[in-house]
Amino acid sequence: MARCAVVLAAGLGTRMKSSKHKVLHEVAGKPMILHILDQLSQLHLQQTIVVVGQAREEVMSVVGNRAEFAIQDEQNGTGHALQVATPLIQPDIDTTLVLYGDAPLIQAQTMERLFQCQEQRQAAAVVLTASVVNPTGLGRILKDAAGNIAAIVEEKDANPEQRKVREINTGIYAFATPRMRQSLALLKADNAQGEYYLTDTIGILRRQQELVLSCPVENEDEVASVNNRVQLAEVNRIFRRNLNRKWMLEGVTIVNPDSTYIDADVTIGRDTIIYPETYLQGTTTIGEGCTLGPNLRVSSSRIDDGAQLEQSVVLESVIHRSATVGPFAYIRPGSEIGVGVKIGDFVEIKKSAIGDGTKVSHLAYVGDAEVGERVNVGCGAITVNYDGERKHRTVVGDDSFVGSNVNLIAPVTVGKGAYLCAGSTITDDVGDDGFAIGRGRQVTKPDYVKAWKQRAQVEKPNSLKHEGR
């Protein structure tokens, strides 16, 4: 059976009160429409079509080549959106799945069940339904004596008895493609809104004595949609809860899942422990046996086995095996922290490589630098990498010692085994095993402070004569 999916994503979503298209708002760090396309990619589809309209360029840019696009210039209802997509559907497509771009929790297994129900029973349409505790505001599913769908009744049109029905229409359908084309051709905009409703196709098919079935969703969370920021927050909560559960079942310890935020494209190795208020974002990869948090943010970075990070920020960088970072460290994009490296408190690393076994223990800035293995970088050391116009690079060789409060004025190269004295400003290259000191000679004046205080005391009464001038 040849299959197609049509994702309706034309409306901007005015209730979001945003200049960003609704389907581009992120759930677990990813535009919600991409979650849907990820699930669709797990099915055996011959074709995927996304219907776009308002802010179409943004949506098309995000979706890229993952789907074909149908343009709905005027938003004349959901039925009209599918009408716009229908000419693009290949002639040999047997079954067409229709779903919405603002419902990112739908799972591939559920969509497969919908396909199979339509294909096995040769139904004209199958409606994904859900039984909910509070169906207020939702379309009710009415069934005939055989248990098939007789009609979908919107709440405003339902009588008191029909409003008691808890089974509701989720708006997700699997159509026999020829029957879908026929019913779409018969749609009319004879309603207060003057729009073509997709739900009306069900009534058309039933009047033609076609078979329309319901397929109940097993987990109603899957059909939660996003129309405003409150619903966006709720969908995010559900998605992250499910994701955290998945990783815990994979052997990751999450101390408090309610305060741990893991994005959809993050991967985590077993025996890693994650403490509260940890944010793992983007395409981050975490190895095995790591300790993360508390109060940690890692974005699009690679953290290798056994690394320990706490109360820090790591952006687009690599942290190698058994390294420690934090507390209060800032690893900026383009950095690589070697095996067993220690990056301590209030240390900032920017676009630099730190060699294996090196220690940058506290209160230091290393920017645009290459620091070798087993180097000690003292407290307050700084690579002075910017001259006001251009960035310059610093190189420090293996086994060197950079004393406290050393300024390395880039571009500068320090050889292997060199020793830079505390408080020095290094402006020239230092060779292997070189000893460099660059600070002003100390001048000490005995009893100077005592004499200065006595002089100030004598002058103080005279200064009072000038008050009020």
Look up 362 and say whether it is catalytic.
yes
Confidence of residue 468 (pLDDT cuts 50, 70, 90): very low
Specify the pLDDT at position 442: 86
Q: What is the mean pLDDT of residues 202-216?
A: 95
Longest distance between any two alpha carbons in the chain, whole Å: 112
pLDDT tens digits for 249-279?
999 999 999 999 999 999 999 999 999 999 9
Specify the pLDDT at position 137: 85
pLDDT tens digits for 301-358?
999 999 999 999 999 999 999 999 999 999 999 999 999 999 999 999 999 999 999 9
Per-residue CA distances from 446 to 12, 16, 350, 457 (Å): 77, 73, 44, 19
How many percent of the chain have pLDDT more than 90? 88
**Assign residue 334 a region: left if phi > 0, alpha if psi is -120 to 50, beta otherwise?**
left
Specify the pLDDT at position 461: 61
Residue 464 has pLDDT above 60, yes or no: no
Domains and CATH numbers, the chain: 3-223 (3.90.550.10), 312-436 (2.160.10.10)
> Looking at per-residue confidence, does 451 or 302 come out higher?
302
What sign does the CA torsion over 24, 27, 32, 38 have?
Answer: positive
Lowest mean pLDDT among 21-30, 150-159, 294-303: 150-159
Provide the strand spans (E) within 412-452. 412-414, 419-420, 425-426, 435-436
Specify the pLDDT at position 452: 85
Specify the pLDDT at position 440: 86
Specify the pLDDT at position 462: 58
Confidence of residue 1 (pLDDT cuts 50, 70, 90): confident
Residue 467 has pLDDT above 60, yes or no: no
Strand-pair category, 125-131 with 167-176: antiparallel
324 is written with which tokens? 């420690």
Q: Which residue, chain included where needed, has tokens 């005592």? A: 450
pLDDT tens digits for 162-206?
999 999 999 999 999 999 999 999 999 887 788 899 999 999 999
Residue 361 has pLDDT above 80, yes or no: yes
Confidence of residue 463 (pLDDT cuts 50, 70, 90): low
* SS3 label, residue 220: helix
- The pTM assigned to this predicted structure is 0.91
Residue 236 has pLDDT above 90, yes or no: yes
Specify the pLDDT at position 154: 84
pLDDT tens digits for 4-26?
999 999 999 999 999 999 999 99
How many percent of the chain have pLDDT more than 70? 98
Best CA proximity match to 148, nearest among 210, 218, 95 = 210
Mutual angle of helices 32-40 and 56-63, in 10-degree steps = 40
pLDDT tens digits for 398-409?
999 999 999 999
Residue 95 has pLDDT above 80, yes or no: yes
With residue 448 as reference, give the H or E element that holds it: helix 448-464
pLDDT tens digits for 133-143?
889 888 999 99
78 is written with which tokens? 């959901």
Cα of 10 vs its chain's centroid, Å? 23
Lowest mean pLDDT among 120-124, 152-156, 191-195: 191-195
80, 320, 362, 466: the active-site residue = 362
Measure the CA–CA gap between 198 and 70, rounded to whole angstroms.
16
Q: What is the mean pLDDT of residues 222-249?
A: 97
